[in-house]
Structure 1
Amino acid sequence: MLEIFQYAVKNTALILAALLPIINPPGGAPIFLLLTRGASADTRRYLARQVAWNASLLLLAAMFIGSYVLEYFGISAATVKVAGGMLVASIGWKMLQTDDAHHDDAGSHIEWSRPVAESRAFYPHTFPLTVGPGSIAVALTLGASVYQGGKRPIAAPLGALLAVLIVAIIIYLCYGFADRIVGLLGKTGTTVMLRLTAFVLLCIGIEIFWGGASDLLEPLVLHRR
């Protein structure tokens, strides 16, 4: 029993260390706030709960069945990176083009309500802004070690569930109280942070795209050599 507990804790720490820097809920808080301008605090927190729930399901699905789904449809992880990278980069570019005076395409024109928040919870707030192709690729890799021999079939999934639960809680806290987190920066600081975050999002999308494209082109390069 102690061995199972120790391995579960070790597995939890490994997954958290791999996923949190990529998902980066504190860094996503300004983006979440920008895209939910005009929403009440209650609606925003409701949306944050939905995003946290969707993110946990998406991560668990990627860990436990993601590789089998991709194999069934004949889709490589590199292709997922290319498509997802393009999607993330397009969102970052659109946010960079947002006019501060009017906040077009930033959520202010939306008549926010719980049904509207629920309809937008998965796209774009869960995927690709919270759980993107990078974190899905990491989850797929981590999932490869979930089913092992001995006692690990019990301990590894337990550690994965605990890690995803912790990630979901952090996502909810950062998104649900994004107004308070960003409010500490002030109006000017918030504007600067939003622009920088949008630019970083654009760069992340290009980096993910290039990583997937490099994986796809590598066999051709090696063949020519």
Structure 2
Amino acid sequence: MAELYTFALLVFTSFFTLINPLGTMPIFMTMTATLSKQRRKQTAKKATIIAFLTIVAFAFSGHILFDFFGISVNSFRIVGGVIFFTMGWDMLQARLGHIKHTDDEEKIDAYVDDVSVTPLAIPMICGPGAITNAIILMQDADKYPQKITLIAVIALVLFITYLILIGASKITDKLGVTGNKVMMRLMGLIVMVIAVEFFFSGLKPIVLSMLHP
């Protein structure tokens, strides 16, 4: 039993650090700044559910899929970096989520669906680090109680992430329109820096492997 508790603690600390819901919160705030409270809640719910299903799917089959398609985690980092950079540039120009200002429910629904999947669920919440961690820990979990613990703790971390994102709504309401625009531009710079780190952390090993096969 003590071994199971130790494993659960390892899973919780590693996933909470890698997912970093407190770091995701400002980006969530800027992307949903002019959505209603209900829409923000809906966006957070969809993003965390999609992230959970993706992490669990990779935990059980990620190693097989990566080998079958010849995909490396470094390639995933490069793609994530490109997505982040594009998103950060739009945030810097205060262009992110321009569709939110329309009263067209169909367009708002489409926007919520879009941002829930990318970039919030993937790669913000469910990034290369979380996916790799899930694959490795699932391989280490050689007994069924450990596998169940792994899935349960991942669910707990993502539930906490959901609560943190919901809490961001109160901050967004207090900032107002001008405050949210300033926040969006600042977060745009930070996201672009994250994008560069993602891109080159994935590119460096690939280049080194080409130079020293």
Structure 1 length normalisation: TM-score? 0.79
Deviation digits for residues 106-135 of structure 1, max 9, x if unmatched? 553354568433454212321123222333
Whichever residue aligns with residue 127 of structure 1, its letter is I
Report the equivalent of 1:144: 139
* Letter paired with 2:165: Y
Which one-letter code corresponds to 1:25 in the other structure? P
User: Which of the residues 24, 29, 32 maps onto 1:33?
Assistant: 29
Which residue of 62, 70, 88 corresponds with 1:66?
62
For 1:75, the equivalent position in structure 2 comes to 71
TM-score by length of 2: 0.83
What is the CA deviation profile of residues 2-43 of structure 1, one whole-angstrom value per residue up to 9, with x for unaligned ones? x3xx33332222122222223221222221122123321112
Q: Which residue of 1 aligns with 2:169?
A: 179
**Aligned Cα RMSD in Å?**
2.6
Deviations, residues 33-63 of structure 1 (Å, cap 9, x unaligned)? 2212332111211221111111111111222
Taking a change above 3 Å as real, the CA distance of residues 115 and 105 of structure 1, as seen in their structure-2 partners, is closer
1:131 aligns with 2:126: yes
Query: Of residues 84, 100, 104 in structure 2, which corresponds to 1:108?
Result: 100
**1:160 pairs with one of 134, 150, 155:** 150
| Unaligned 5+ runs, structure 1 | none
Specify the alignment match of 2:52 in structure 1.
Answer: 56
> 1:89 touches 1:205 (CA, 8 Å); kept in 2?
yes
What is the Cα deviation at residue 97 of structure 1? 1.9
1:72 Cα offset (Å): 1.0
Q: Structure 1 residues 52, 208: CA separation in 2 closer, same or farther (over 3 Å shift)? A: same
Between the aligned partners of 1:215 and 1:65, the Cα distance in structure 2 is 24
Structure 2 unaligned spans of 5+: none
Q: If each structure's helix is expressed as a fraction of its own residues, which one has the higher value?
A: 2
Task: Give me the identity figure in percent.
Answer: 26
Distance, in Å, in 2 between the alignment partners of 1:144 and 1:190 is 43
